[in-house]
Each structure stands twice: as structure tokens, then as C-alpha cells.
Amino acid sequence: MNQNDTQKAIESGKTVLGIELGSTRIKAVLIGEDHLPIASGSHEWENKHENGVWTYSLEDVWAGLQESYRNLSHEVLEKYKTPLKTIGAIGFSAMMHGYVVFDKDGNLLVPFRTWRNTMTGQAAEKLTDLFQFNIPQRWSIAHLYQAILNKESHVKDISHQTTLAGYVHWKLTGQKVLGVGEASGMFPIDSKTNDYDKRMVGQFNEQLKAENIPWKLEDILPKVLVAGDAAGVLTEEGAKLLDPSGQLTAGIALCPPEGDAGTGMVATNSVAERTGNVSAGTSVFAMIVLENALSKLYPEIDMVTTPTGKPVAMVHANNCTSDLNAWVDLFHEFTQALGVEVGESKLYELLFNKALTGDADGGGLLAYNYFSGESITAFEEGRPLFVRTPASRFTLANFMRVHLFSALGTLKLGMDILFEQEKVQIDQLLGHGGFFKTKDVGQKMMAAAMNVPVSVMETAGEGGAWGIALLASYLIHKSGNQPLEAYLSDKVFAGEKGSTIAPDQKDVAGFAVFMERYKNGLGIERAAVEGLK
């Protein structure tokens, strides 16, 4: 879209707004009719640790949302000389899970407990056993049940439980709803009905009855919607809440609020069966869209859904690039000591590319990137570790290759459950995050680890705010019963530039040899945790 067309789109309300509340930043993105961003605004924020709880205050939520929107609207005015008064549709997304509960008068009963809290171990274990379905500690139902087990006095007064995205949507529209992907991080979803699993709801209600709780679960959870469903409109009060200047008009359509996992899938066009995306940065997680539900419970795998309700297997590892970054920092310090000026990005490029010249298996070297614990390998703590034998081929190329391999080791263990035990098949993985920043290298390593083609798209860096904007656009622009997958492929990503790298079978075989060494050496890592305090 050229400047003139964009200006007209803004004036006539043919734009779409997406806002995502991430853990460190609230970002707003305005997109045009071609689905590309035309303006953005953001606000930096941090969680607080108060009385043993990781939290954000609701006052900070609104201050951050208002600043993000204000910065976006200022950019619109500056770039296009047009005030932002109306919008075609709006979508809200946020970090998933956690605990947000209100009484019948809409009062917050306890401070918002975020996904980061690890206080629900007892509840998560009991519910996993009861449902025979993996319930991670961060899920909303685990937080609720832990509050019940703790005999917290507020529980009897709960009238409404939601998530951060659901809360914002409710205050702006009056609608107590969630997108199915977001809802799947509150309570298990039945993908046949795109609603909370009835059997498990009944089992939970029996627990409530035994504890003399005066309400049933279905009374307090938000209604589940799928992508494309109408989810209410911006009220007069909501418009003033988002834009206190009073310029923004009411009546704008909103799409169902979604979680950051769902918006990541949308932003990488990974919502169809046999597709998946892998986000690799400080942590690493893969989201694989399944053709069928898994055959049994696996504690290493979280089951969520796409924004249309398709089952998604999520494999999450806490550690990915932190140890790699630490070694690159060390090499950077060395170059400075030599008096050689090498930029950080150039150094990453040089060292990552060096890894491509190493032995396929990394020359017998071994590394663990565990800055923190990993649930998949049953570590509560971690120690970054590099190990070799006298016979190992200790070269810079092998050193870098093994550290890139190590960044994917734990993820590979979880993915092997899907590939080997569940016979899950995928056609490609979409990669995004810092691991893929150096051209081709991260893709080649990921392709070797997963033995599937790995693609990186130019738009992958747009993030979740863009993803929720695309869902809001789908709400108002889809043709009839056009599936989300078709809308994204035909309207958004058609002609999308990117690169795809197929697995090199020599690299695949080398990574398999490394993984045997990795699994056999986990005792070394455990000894390091126990012996190095």
C-alpha cells in the first residue's frame, strides 16, 4: 500500500489493530488491507515478585495498554497526517495461563498470579492423575485447584475466572469469552466439540462438591470461541479505557482473545495439520499441529490447540541459546584483548558458520546448556557444562557445532516421543527466534535434529501482536466459511519470501550419534548439579 492508500484506509476504518501483552513488552500493531504493519506502539514492563507471587498489577495493565495505543496513534498521525478514530477490527492477546479471579461485583479477589509461578505442584500432580491428561503447573486450572487445596478463603466467592487476555477483552466489550487456543491453557479442550472436556469438567466438579464449594466449574469459566467467531464490540466505556483522549469510537468488532502460543502459530502460518513452528531463543519450544490426539498421557508434552481448535502438541525446554551466547561473549572478550575490533553480529556469523565445517557428530565433544532445570530430563537445577575425552577432536568448528546441537538436545528428546512413539508426521517446521538469526546455520542444525525441512519467513519477526491482528482481520475479511488455514495461505502469506532448508542426511546421522552421547552423559550433568553449588 502506498502512502495515499494507507491514509484513506485509516480514514475509512479499513485497518486492523492487534495488541499483545508479553512478559516484558506490550506491543500494538496496526495493519492495512494487505495485512502488513503500517504503525506500531509499545510499552516496556516487568513482573513484580510480591509476597512470594510473580504478578502484574491491573493498574499497570491499563497504563501499559494506554501507552502502547497512544504511541501507535501518535505514529499514525505523524506518518500519515490522519488521526486514528475508527478501526475495522481489534484483537487482544497475552501471555497464557495464570490465575485471574473476580467476585460477582467484578472485584479482583487476589493479585494476578502469572504463568511464571511454580506454586501449584501438588494440584498439577493430582489433576494429571485424575484426568489422565498432562496438567502443567502454569495452567489456570492448576492454580485454581491449588487455591482450593490451600483452603484459601476467596475461593467460595469466585464468580469469574479468566486469563490476562480474557480480562482485557471483558473490560472492553463486556463479553466473558476466550479463543479456544487460550482456553486450552486454562482447562483441557475436546477438539471434537471445541469446548472444555465434559468428562474432566464433571470430574473436577466432584472435587468441588467434596470441598463444599458453592459453584460449578462451568459457572465461572469463560465461553469458548474459535477463530472467526464474533466476540463482541468495543463499548463506549471500553473505548475510553483504551484511548482516554476520547478519539477512538465505540462499536468496533473484536475477535476472540487468544494466547501468545496461538498468535505465534498464526504469525508463522503454522495452523494446518502436519505443520509446526519452533521458537528458539533463551528458551525453545515446538508447537506441532496433530492429525489426531495423542494416544496417551506424556508428562513431557503439553496439549493445547490452534485458534480453530485443532490439537497441538507442545514440547518446551527452558534452555536454548544462553550458553551459546555466553561462549560468544567470551570469544568477543578475547578479540578485544587482542585489540581486534569485531562487531558482535559479525562474530556470531563467523562462529556459527564455522560450525558447518565441523565433524557431522561434533567430533566426540559433549555440552549441556542447562542454566536452569529441565522437566523433560527431570532436572530441577542446571549447570552449563562442556566435556571431552582425550580422543575427542577438539577444534573450534566442532566446539561450535556441539554447542548448537546442545541447544536443541532437550527439545529433541521431547520431539522423539512424538516422532517415534506416536508416529507423528510433519511436512515442515517454521523457525523463528535468535537461534535462526545467522543465515542458514540454525535452520541446518534444526533440520538435522528433527529430520524435517525447516523454513524461516521474512515476516517471522513480526511477532504475536501481528498474529492477533491477523486473527482480527480474519474475523471481518474471511469469505463465507473460509477456513483460517486457507485465509492465511491465500490472503496473507501468498508470495511470502523466505528460505527452506531440507535435512542433509549426513547431518541427521551425525546429530543422532551426538544424541546418544548426550543421553548417556546426563549422569555427568547430574553430578555437576550435585557437586557444584
Name the strand (E) or helix (H) holding 178.
strand 177-179
For residue 128, give every residue at least 6 positions away whose Cβ sits within 8 Å of its Cβ, in sequence order, or none.
134, 135, 297, 299
Of all residues in the chain, the percent with pLDDT exceeding 90 is 87
Q: Is the dihedral of CA 383, 389, 394, 398 positive or negative?
A: negative
SS (H, E, C) 287-314: EEECCCCCCCCCCCCEEEECCCCCEEEE
What is residue 252's predicted lDDT score, i.e. its pLDDT? 98
Domain 97-162+187-220: top CATH class = alpha beta
State the average pLDDT for the chain. Answer: 95
Cα-Cα-Cα-Cα torsion 422, 428, 432, 434, nearest 10 degrees, comes to 80
What is residue 263's predicted lDDT score, i.e. its pLDDT? 93
Grid cell locating 511: 546429530
Residue 26 has pLDDT above 70, yes or no: yes
Q: Would you list the domain boundaries of the chain? A: 97-162+187-220, 269-462+496-533
317 and 374 Cβ atoms separated by less than 8 Å: yes
pLDDT digits (tens, 9 = 90+) for 149-185: 999 999 999 999 999 999 999 999 999 999 999 999 9
Of all residues in the chain, the percent with pLDDT exceeding 70 is 99
For residue 259, give every residue at least 6 positions away whose Cβ sits within 8 Å of its Cβ, in sequence order, or none.
93, 94, 95, 96, 97, 163, 165, 179, 181, 182, 185
Residue 3 has pLDDT above 90, yes or no: no
Residue 496 has pLDDT above 90, yes or no: no
Nearest to 260 by CA among 181, 202, 197: 181
Residue 318 has pLDDT above 90, yes or no: no
Which of the four pLDDT bands, split at 50, 70 and 90, describes residue 35? very high
Which of the four pLDDT bands, split at 50, 70 and 90, describes residue 428? confident
Q: Which CATH code is given to the segment(s) 269-462+496-533?
A: 3.30.420.40
50 and 111 Cβ atoms separated by less than 8 Å: yes
pLDDT digits (tens, 9 = 90+) for 504-515: 999 999 999 999
What is residue 366's predicted lDDT score, i.e. its pLDDT? 98
Residue 380 has pLDDT above 90, yes or no: no
What is residue 461's predicted lDDT score, i.e. its pLDDT? 61
Distance from C-alpha of 317 to C-alpha of 297, rounded to nearest angstrom: 18
Mean pLDDT of 117-138: 93
Longest dimension (CA), the chain: 72
Q: Collapsing DSSP states into helix, strand and coil, what is residue 150?
A: coil
Burial of 9 (0-12, 13-18, 19+ CB in 10 A): buried
Strands (E), 412-497: 428-432, 454-457
Grid cell locating 315: 514440547
Which of the four pLDDT bands, split at 50, 70 and 90, describes residue 373? confident
Distance from C-alpha of 398 to C-alpha of 403, rounded to nearest angstrom: 9
What is residue 389's predicted lDDT score, i.e. its pLDDT? 97
* First-residue to last-residue Cα distance in the chain: 58
* 97-162+187-220 and 269-462+496-533 have identical folds: yes
What is residue 460's predicted lDDT score, i.e. its pLDDT? 62
What is residue 2's predicted lDDT score, i.e. its pLDDT? 83
pLDDT digits (tens, 9 = 90+) for 212-245: 999 999 999 999 999 999 999 999 999 999 999 9
Distance from C-alpha of 425 to C-alpha of 418, rounded to nearest angstrom: 8
At which residue does the C-alpha cell 492508500 appear? 5
